[in-house]
A = this chain, B = another copy of it.
Amino acid sequence: MAHGFYLVYGLSLCLSLLCALFVVSWSLHWRGGFAWDGSPLQFNWHPVLMVSGLVIIYGNGAVVYRIPSSWKQRKLVCKLVHAGMMLVALLLSGLGLSAVFDFHTSISIPHLYSVHSWVGISTVLLFSFQWLLGLVGFLLPCSPRWFRRSLKPTHIWIGKIVLVLTLVACISGINEKLLLTLDGMSAAAYNTLPVEAVFVNCLGILIVALGTTILGILFVKKWQRPEDCPENTQLLVSESSP
């Protein structure tokens, strides 16, 4: 059972690495690199931070509980790693939003006009709400047991929906950026498929592959952390027994 999990989990780690490499290379190799000065170089942080935060770190944070070796840990350790990764994901996505808002302001482009931006901002708002609800429901010691129990399916459900919305926002955003950038250069219009377009389309496919792999891991029931998983005792005992 664990072999099957680690195979798919290994695939998700490889895809994470590839997504990171592709999205950074796009900005560095074709879009002139990074700055924080209101120029298009500031915009370049937007895809990098959104993909790193909402796809890579969020996706890997979502499957922390599924890693069998983590079941030997106290559940609180898993919770803190999960919440910590999600906080990093949230901060990166906030920074990614501020990159694009600053850029729009500096060159007087209106904010939030496209359906990409409507879905994207809804995703980050839903994710923020989810993180706060998770903090209150699962980490504050005063949260009653009945509340945690009834919150859990909603938390898992919203978690998956945030990932689905992220995929929608990322792919529509990549499509928008390529249309706006490449179609400004007549020699390299998007529909002539210059090398940048092929490379970034592949980034889009890698993001979709990573997202669906993560959703796949979350879908398999037998890979869930067992409800009766001991707080550091039973597994250690069974490991030491013959």
Chain A contact residues, CB within 8 Å of chain B: 109-110, 113-116, 118-119, 122, 153, 157, 160-161, 164-165, 167-168, 171-172, 174-176, 178-180, 190-193, 197, 200-201, 204-205, 208, 211-212, 215-216, 219-220
Contacts and interface: CB of A to CB of B under 8 A. Distances in A.
A208 B110 CA distance: 23
Contacts of A176: 175-176, 179
A40 B161 CA distance: 35
A-B residue pairs, 10 tightest by C-beta: A115-B204, A172-B172, A115-B201, A172-B175, A113-B191, A168-B171, A171-B172, A110-B191, A116-B175, A115-B175
A38 to B, nearest CB: 17
Contacts of A161: 212, 215-216
A100 B115 CA distance: 21
A215 B175 contact: no
Contacts of A205: 115, 118-119, 122
Contacts of A174: 115
Contact of A179 (B110, B180, B200): B180
A205 B178 CA distance: 22
Given A110-B191, A172-B172, A176-B175, A215 B115 contact: no
Given A171-B116, A172-B172, A174-B115, A164 B110 contact: no
B212 A164 contact: yes
B160 A219 contact: yes
A228 B170 CA distance: 42
A187 to B, nearest CB: 15
B160 A208 contact: no
B178 A114 contact: yes
A119 B172 CA distance: 11
A191 B220 CA distance: 42
A139 B111 CA distance: 51
Contacts of A193: 110, 113
A119 B118 CA distance: 20
